[in-house]
């Protein structure tokens, strides 16, 4: 079996390639900028001619690509074109299944980013190659942009402003559990040729509760001031100030949390028999302890780990 991972240089892609490598099957890792090693191939979805060589003799394709924050003027149009290019090239190459990791459909009006994620899923599922779309809310792990914002807020905030979007609820999932879901997606049987499934973590948490849980790992309590009216623009500026994250990313996160991001069903876990095993707290601890050594974040985390260790009854 040969598996192609598109977006292999990204947060989820790196972890998936690590997990698939060494299982005896052939894994091809693709991104726009070539990396060292035999398994890497160069693919730019905006240059569809780069797809055919990468797809040669490929059975399964993982689609872990997005264009948000890429500076593309109309990132939705870019994402549509990229998805259509892959659907077309995969059909020509005789691919057995496409596995796409997208985002949860909100109950209310989706943000541009979430709407685009859902549109990409529709385009891929409408193609002739059987496609499975997995919908996740926040994935907790080192290197995830949204986790990084959450972690930075929890570590740095002296006082918390409480705009309404902080109360939006979702079911975050640990990176390891998301990787298991992705691995199972190649073989899980579907009632229809193509389908989508939510992949929720076990807990329903608001962004504020997640912040408090991460802050509590350092025995911090962040005093809160309720500010019901804080526009997405001001919220994003606030996030940028505290976390130094890219403004457009912060804005998308805030807009994405405009309403709850809850799953419609947990059916996928029944189909695979591998429901999530990690709690939010365990996933957060794992993410904090695997920060790259010597980084500023890692130094903060060392303090966390010492504090956790000295307060655990079994330490």
Ligand X SMILES: NC(=O)c1ccc[n+]([C@@H]2O[C@H](COP(=O)([O-])OP(=O)(O)OC[C@H]3O[C@@H](n4cnc5c(N)ncnc54)[C@H](OP(=O)(O)O)[C@@H]3O)[C@@H](O)[C@H]2O)c1
Q: Would you tell me which residues interact with ligand X (CB under 6 A)?
A: 6-7, 9-13, 31-33, 43-46, 64-67, 82, 101-103, 117, 136, 138-139, 144, 146
Closer of 15 and 155 to ligand X (Cβ): 15
Tell me how far, at minimum, the Cβ of 294 lies from ligand X, in Å: 22
Closer of 188 and 261 to ligand X (Cβ): 261
Name the residue whose CB lies closest to ligand X: 10
Tell me how far, at minimum, the Cβ of 113 lies from ligand X, in Å: 8
Tell me how far, at minimum, the Cβ of 24 lies from ligand X, in Å: 25
The C-alpha atoms of residue 226 and residue 229 are separated, in whole angstroms, by 9
**Inter-residue contact 244 to 153 (CB < 8 Å):** no
Tell me how far, at minimum, the Cβ of 44 lies from ligand X, in Å: 5
What is the CB neighbour count within 10 angstroms for residue 314? 4
**Inter-residue contact 5 to 16 (CB < 8 Å):** yes
Closer of 209 and 246 to ligand X (Cβ): 246
Tell me how far, at minimum, the Cβ of 146 lies from ligand X, in Å: 5
Closer of 36 and 314 to ligand X (Cβ): 36
The C-alpha atoms of residue 123 and residue 145 are separated, in whole angstroms, by 25
Closer of 79 and 285 to ligand X (Cβ): 79
From 87, 142, 91, select the one nearest 120 (Cα to Cα): 87
- Name the CA dihedral angle for 183, 184, 187, 191, rounded to a multiple of 10 degrees: -140
**Inter-residue contact 115 to 128 (CB < 8 Å):** no
The C-alpha atoms of residue 211 and residue 178 are separated, in whole angstroms, by 21
**Inter-residue contact 90 to 53 (CB < 8 Å):** no
* Alpha-helical runs (H) found in the chain: 11-20, 51-55, 75-93, 112-126, 145-156, 175-184, 207-216, 232-243, 247-256, 267-272, 280-289, 296-311
Closer of 117 and 183 to ligand X (Cβ): 117
Tell me how far, at minimum, the Cβ of 62 lies from ligand X, in Å: 9
């Amino acid at each position: 079996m040969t598996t192609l991972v598109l977006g292999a240089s990204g947060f989820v892609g790196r972890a998936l390639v690590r997990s698939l490598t060494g299982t005896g099957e052939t894994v091809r890792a693709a991104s726009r900028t070539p990396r060292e090693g035999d398994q890497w191939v160069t693919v730019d979805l905006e240059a569809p001619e780069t797809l055919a060589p990468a797809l040669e003799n490929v059975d399964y394709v993982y689609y872990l690509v997005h264009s948000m924050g890429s500076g593309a003027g109309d990132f939705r149009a870019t994402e549509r074109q990229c998805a259509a290019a892959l659907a077309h090239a995969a059909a020509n190459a005789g691919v057995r299944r496409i596995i796409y990791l997208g985002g949860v459909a909100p109950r209310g009006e989706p943000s541009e980013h979430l709407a685009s994620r859902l549109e990409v899923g529709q385009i891929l599922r409408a193609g002739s190659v059987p496609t499975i779309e997995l919908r996740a809310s926040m994935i907790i792990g080192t290197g995830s942009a949204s986790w990084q914002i959450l972690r930075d807020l929890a570590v740095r905030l002296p006082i918390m402003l409480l705009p309404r979007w902080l109360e939006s609820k979702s079911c975050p999932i640990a990176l390891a559990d998301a990787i298991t879901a992705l691995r199972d997606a190649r073989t899980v049987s579907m009632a229809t040729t193509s389908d989508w499934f939510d992949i929720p973590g076990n807990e329903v948490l608001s962004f504020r509760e997640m912040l408090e849980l991460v802050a509590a790992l350092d025995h911090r309590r962040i005093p809160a001031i309720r500010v019901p009216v804080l526009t997405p623009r001001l919220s994003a500026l606030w996030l940028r100030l505290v976390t130094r994250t890219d403004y457009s990313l912060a804005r998308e996160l805030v807009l994405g949390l405009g309403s709850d991001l809850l799953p419609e069903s947990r059916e996928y876990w029944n189909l695979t028999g591998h429901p999530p095993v990690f709690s939010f707290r365990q996933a957060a601890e794992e993410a904090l302890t695997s920060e790259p050594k010597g980084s500023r974040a890692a130094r903060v985390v060392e303090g966390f780990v010492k504090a956790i260790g000295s307060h655990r009854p079994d330490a």
